[in-house]
Amino acid sequence: MTSTLRRATPDEQFAEVTRGSVDLHVAEELKSKLRRSYDKEQPLLVKAGFDATAPDLHLGHTLLLTRMRRFQELGHRVVFLIGDFTALIGDPSGKSATRPALSREEVLANAETYKVQVFKVLEAGRTEVRFNSQWLDALGTEGLVRLAARWPLARMLEREDFKTRFREGKSIALHELLYPLLQGYDSVALEADVELGSSDQLFNLLVGRTLMREMGKEPQVILTGPILEGLDGHEKMSKSLDNAVGITEQPDQMFGKLMSISDALMWRYIELLSAMPLARVAERRAEVDAGGLNPKEVKAGFAEEMVARFHGADAGRRAAEEFDRRFAKRQLDPERVPEHSVSLGGASSVPLVRALADAGLVASTSEGRRLIAQGAVRLDGTRVSDAKRELGPGHYLVQVGKLRAARLRVG
């Protein structure tokens, strides 16, 4: 732990942990905490809370985990806080209506699912997993009333989402007003030095900072990150918009999607998601700008890093080699194309888009329709233009882009 804490100077640590950040309250306090940690060889306690709603994670969801990992690699204590108590309320941040309540059993089941996926980014052996029911259950009715007494209603209604709902006459349940206070009390209980979150959680995080000060604790520093753009570079990353890279997608599919992004978006992704130090990112960018380095080489390195993060180093290397063989060299080896059976289910034909989804060549039928409209789907070597194309019984060679292909056996 000690050697890791002294591996980077306080200024170098500040640059790394704040890269791509949106809000920082307060920069000088963070610098002071990092200097004290460095001088005394005592790690900071860095907290991030996650309500245990069932996750289906894509790269956009991992931004916060990536920032946690940077603190972790610099030797600081990282607390992955599962909001098993607060999930019973549901974070109202950015919501236009009251969220349905979850049972304690549902929350705990979801928490187990979370842990399986988040440790694809965080180091399990160096991550403290805590549950906020440990102190919020013990708070009791009297403690909850005393906590609520610390925050005026007028200040709570300053939250943009509450303000909007109040103005529009939409319901705001009383328990929703408690959520920011309970999240803030988590920071008091843990005595957090730093709390991380997304930019839409800023109000909640600042409540924690205020409560710590009022309860005689050194206030935490607040550090928020952005919302990640999807593959199109415009809308936020979302599976419903077919512009997402899921962390459980097949390595070849993940690699191919990342190779499809624009050069400008590549640097944005690298800044937010890569473990490459900022100084090295600047060097690589200067090389590209000077014409001495092809941006595709940088993009391939980043794509391999992401595949390796979620599927292992061997998978990352194989995905890079396969992409180079099939895409860069324009090769498609028929003997290496996987086969997939598609059942007609008693019908005379099956929609092509459903067959593509069943074979794992696309994430959804809507993505299949979009790719057909873009001219990216070929059937037995011929480009498909009709998104309503049906396949009868038989064998077909289907290609999606230049990377994905399968032999379909329909029957």
Same domain, 323 and 289: yes
CA atoms within 13 A on the CB side of 73: 16
Domain boundary among 298, 328, 358: 328
- What pLDDT, on a 0 to 100 scale, did the predictor assign at position 329? 60
On whether residue 112 sits in a domain, the answer given is yes
Mean pLDDT of 38-46: 96
Q: Is residue 27 part of a domain?
A: yes
Say whether both 316 and 347 belong to one domain. no
Domain of residue 166, CATH code: 3.40.50.620
The tokens of 308 are what?
A: 């390796």
Asked if 162 and 293 sit in the same domain, the reply is: no
Quick count: other Cβ atoms within 10 Å of Cβ 354?
15
Portion of the chain with pLDDT greater than 90, in percent: 50
Residue 356 lies in a domain: yes
Average pLDDT rounded to a whole number, residues 65-74:
95
Quick one: which of 111, 97, 92, 98 has its CA closest to 179? 92
Three-state SS at 399: strand
188 falls within a domain: yes
DSSP 8-state code for residue 204: H
Tell whether 268 and 198 lie within a shared domain. Answer: no
Instruction: Give the number of domains in the chain.
Output: 3
Specify whether 360 is located in the same domain as 273: no
Rounded to whole angstroms, the Cα distance separating 390 from 356 reads: 11
Identify whether the C-beta of residue 237 lies closer than 8 Å to the C-beta of residue 230.
yes
Kindly report the CA angle at 72 between 70 and 78, in degrees rounded to 5? 120
DSSP at 382: E
Residues 351-388 pLDDT 10s: 999 999 888 888 888 888 988 988 889 887 788 988 89
Q: Read off the pLDDT of residues 163-192 as tens digits, 9 standing for 90 and up.
A: 888 888 888 888 888 999 999 999 999 999
Q: Do 318 and 339 sit in the same domain of this protein?
A: no
The per-residue pLDDT for 1 is: 44
Residue 332 has pLDDT above 70, yes or no: no
**Averaged over 285-303, what is the pLDDT?**
92
Do 42 and 186 lie in one domain? The reply is yes
Read off the pTM: 0.71
Residue 328: what pLDDT?
Answer: 58
Do 260 and 215 fall within a single domain?
no
Of 83-97, 213-227, 269-283, which range is least confident? 83-97
The CA-atom distances, in angstroms, between 187 and each of 37, 291, 296 are 19, 48, 43
We report the CATH number of the domain holding residue 310 as: 1.10.240.10
Residues 208 and 352 in one domain: no
> Which among 275, 304, 328 is the end of a domain?
328
Residue 191: Cβ within 10 Å count: 12
Q: Is the pLDDT of residue 89 over 80?
A: no
Distance of CA 94 to the CA centre of its chain: 17
pLDDT score, position 88: 78
pLDDT of 95: 47
Q: Is residue 232 part of a domain?
A: no
230 is a domain residue: no
Q: How confident is the model at residue 274 (pLDDT cuts 50, 70, 90)?
A: very high
pLDDT tens string 300-330: 999 999 999 999 999 999 999 988 877 656 5
Q: What's 345's domain CATH number? A: 3.10.290.10
Look at residue 233 and tell me if it is in a domain.
Answer: no
Least confident window among 17-31, 105-119, 184-198, 278-292 = 105-119
Q: 81 by DSSP, 3-state: which?
A: strand
- In a shared domain, residues 383 and 285: no
Task: Tell me, yes or no, whether 354 lies in a domain.
Answer: yes
DSSP summary character for residue 233: S
Q: How far is CA 283 from CA 19, 25, 176, 383, 391, in A?
A: 16, 30, 47, 41, 51
For 54, the domain range is 2-225
The answer to whether residues 157 and 49 belong to one domain is yes
Residues 12 and 101 occupy one common structural domain: yes
**End residue of a domain, out of 311, 328, 345:** 328
